[in-house]
Amino acid sequence: MPLKKQLSPRKQPTQARSRATVSAILEGAAQVFCREGYAGGTTDKVAKRAGVSVGSLYQYFPNKDALLLALADRHAEEGFAMIHLLLSEFKAEMPRLEVFLRQFVQSLFDLHMREPELHRVLFNEAPLPSEFFEKKEAKEHEFSIGVSRLLAAHPEVSCKDPALAAHMLVQTVEGLVHGYIFFPPRAISPENFITETVFMLHQYLSRSAETLG
């Protein structure tokens, strides 16, 4: 029963120099963990690749796993930002359902496509703390509420429980995209994959489906 390790950054880099150091370290970490996987990615390698001494690394990150967490956080933040952007765009003016879905799926797809291997390491090898997932969950729940409002208000959409629908929407996209990224099926092009996903969700949400519920 090991006490939970400290994973949060050690000190906030305030001066310009330290900020540079920190981002060099993160960049190095991303590259090293990409190439070498979780186990093979040693802190020494990370420091070396970042052009920084191990000591500096540990000045800002209390241990190896904190590096992974920071990377995962960075990724999550990007995702959140993207969704946030989408949501606020659509709050102003909701486009046709299909357009909305396509944009949503495409954005998440692009996000994951950027560094698929880092992704694999982050989510299939790294022992990310449950706190990370809880935070992610919470954030996703928050977005779900936003999405459910959009769905509830959308003329093309019909569903009994918009909150549930929103949750399914988010989860489905995440699940499918993850699956596609990690093992891209040769037979299905990204375009087809996205189109089909959008189609499925459209069917799920659209009014014409109502009669079947």
With both helix axes pointing from N to C terminus, report the angle between 162-182 and 130-153 in degrees, rounded to the nearest 10.
130
107 binds DNA (CB under 7 A): no
Apex CA 177: angle with CA 132 and CA 213, to 5°?
A: 100
Dihedrals phi, psi of 188, to nearest 5 degrees: -120, 120
155 binds DNA (CB under 7 A): no
Question: Rounded distance, CA 15 to CA 43, Å?
Answer: 23
For DNA, give the closer residue by CB, 2 or 155.
2
106 binds DNA (CB under 7 A): no
Least Cβ distance, residue 59 to its own copies (angstroms): 11
Residues sharing a CB contact under 8 Å with residue 66, sequence separation 6 or more, in sequence order? 6, 7, 8, 9
For DNA, give the closer residue by CB, 52 or 128.
52
Least Cβ distance, residue 186 to DNA (angstroms): 32
42 binds DNA (CB under 7 A): yes
Q: Do 25 and 47 touch, CB atoms closer than 8 A?
A: yes
For DNA, give the closer residue by CB, 44 or 142.
44
The DSSP string of 51-65 is TS-HHHHHHH-SSHH
196 binds DNA (CB under 7 A): no
Q: Do 111 and 77 touch, CB atoms closer than 8 A?
A: no
Least Cβ distance, residue 169 to its own copies (angstroms): 9
Stretch that binds DNA, among 41-49, 74-82, 150-158, 162-170 (CB under 7 A): 41-49
Given 54, 113, 145, 152, the residue binding DNA (CB under 7 A): 54
Q: Which does 31 bind (CB under 5 to 8 A by kind): DNA, its own copies, none?
A: none
Least Cβ distance, residue 92 to its own copies (angstroms): 26
Token representation of residue 176: 């499918």
Instruction: Name residue 157's beta-bridge partners.
Output: 206
Q: Which does 11 bind (CB under 5 to 8 A by kind): its own copies, DNA, none?
A: DNA
